[in-house]
Amino acid sequence: MKRSASTVTLGLVQTSCSANPAENLKKTLAQVERCAKAGAQVISTQELFRSQYFCQNEDHANFKLAESIPGPSTDAFCKLAKKHKVVIIASLFEKRASGLYHNTAAIIDADGSLLGIYRKMHIPDDPLYYEKFYFTPGDLGFKAWRTRYAKIGVLICWDQWYPEGARLTAMQGAEILFYPTAIGWHPSEKKEYGVNQHGAWETIQRSHAVANGCYVAVASGAIGESLILANAAAEGINYEKGWILGTTATVKVFIDVFIGIWAFVLALVWCAKIEARPGEKIRAREIWDRFPKFVIGYVATFTVLLVVCLAVPGLAGGFDVGRVRPGAGDGAGRVARAPTTIRPTPQMKSSALTGRPSVRRPSTLSPSSGGTRLPTG
């Protein structure tokens, strides 16, 4: 089998989304370009980046968000891939035919060519994740594509809970498994089950890397605010755009200022009552020296961020860049860019790349879910 380059740099784009598909596409293209300029060679978007997560309810109007593949979005990504000589994985809502829709990832090589597509096989149907209303299960099977920099496999979100998908993809020679994802907690469950659910999610990703001797990279769109909005809307509450982010920043400012003020009060009491000599007055210079300067920094920083976020809702977003060595695993399912890039064990590498089963049984991993319902995505 032809070996890939010794080191491959991955870029994972994770952004907030507005209600405007064109705006989201433009933002994601800009983030992909940032990744490329930062040195990334293989770049993945989050799941369904062109819109807010619309599967929180069953609404026929949302089918208007779908597009053909090839189509406008793939054309834009192909052009960008060719310009920067990067591989791009773009997650899209595909309209295959009238009444036939898929949750699809397009794989674009560094020369700008569309190598192929993967259609999500496992479709969830949970509260606020009504994906079966929108998506037909994929019919293309699990595949691996030889790109300019590495042989990669692509699965999508809910596929991550099924080990056979990762196994079948790795057996075709995939050195890196990408999972464009949109995952989160149900608002009513996070407090009680959040820690265990996150632990289960991370454990299953690690297990794919360990069992198959390949890297696992996850670009997850944060849909927490969307879930809050959907839950609130169900109760007749409609927040203005950007309100939640603005409120969070405001609360953060007050908490940090509160801590700083009490730290200053304690320092003042210490100077006046404990360290001060009889009849000695506290000098203004000493008060200033003891004043916690971080309070000023917090106020200034969060005030600026608050103003910017309120002025441009949905501005928050970013990307992650990390390096992996295909065919040379050096960890034990460790999280390299927590929790986005997961490394394999060296001893499992050959069996995954050749399709031969390993005679060495992996260590038993105790479920971290504690018997709770797993997060959906």
Q: Is 51 left (phi over 0), alpha (psi -120 to 50) or beta?
A: beta
pLDDT digits (tens, 9 = 90+) for 227-252: 555 555 555 656 555 555 566 666 76
| Mean pLDDT, residues 321-344 taken together | 47
Residue 142's closest CA among 181, 102, 115, 171? 171
| Mean pLDDT, residues 182-186 taken together | 76
Share of the chain above pLDDT 90, in %: 46
Q: Which residue did the predictor score with more confidence, 283 or 205? A: 205
pLDDT for residue 304: 78
| Mean pLDDT, residues 133-156 taken together | 96
CA dist 297 and 305 (Å) reads 12
Model confidence at 188, in pLDDT bands (50, 70, 90)?
confident
pLDDT for residue 164: 95
- Find the length of the chain: 377
Q: Which CATH class is domain 8-237+317-354?
A: alpha beta
Query: Tokens 């056979």 correspond to what residue?
Result: 164
Catalytic residue selected from 35, 55, 78, 157: 157
286 is catalytic: no
Catalytic residue selected from 17, 47, 78, 94: 47
Q: Decide if 319 contacts 11 (C-beta within 8 A).
A: yes
pLDDT for residue 248: 63
Q: Which residue did the predictor score with more confidence, 362 or 185? A: 185
94 is catalytic: no
pTM of the model: 0.67
Q: Name the pairing type of β-strands 176-183 and 215-222.
A: parallel
pLDDT for residue 301: 73
Averaged confidence pLDDT in the chain: 77
Q: In this model, does residue 330 exceed pLDDT 90?
A: no
Adjacency order of strands within the sheet including 100-108: 114-119, 100-108, 87-97, 42-44, 8-15, 317-324
Q: In this model, does residue 175 exceed pLDDT 90?
A: yes
Q: Decide if 180 contacts 154 (C-beta within 8 A).
A: yes
Beta bridge partners of 317: 15
280 is catalytic: no
| Mean pLDDT, residues 185-211 taken together | 85
Catalytic residue selected from 27, 35, 94, 120: 120
pLDDT for residue 190: 77
Q: Which residue did the predictor score with more confidence, 7 or 253? A: 7
| Mean pLDDT, residues 134-158 taken together | 96
Which distant-in-sequence residues (6+ apart) come within 8 Å of 214 by Cβ?
153, 170, 174, 175, 176, 177, 208, 326, 329, 344, 349, 352, 353
Q: Name the pairing type of β-strands 87-97 and 100-108.
A: antiparallel
Q: In this model, does residue 343 exceed pLDDT 60?
A: no
CA dist 250 and 273 (Å) reads 34
Q: In this model, does residue 134 exceed pLDDT 80?
A: yes
CA dist 264 and 242 (Å) reads 33
Q: Which residue did the predictor score with more confidence, 377 or 120? A: 120
| DSSP conformation letters of 183-239 | EB--TTTHHHHHHHHHHHHHHHHHHHHHHHTSEEEEEEEE-HHHHHHHHHHHTT--P
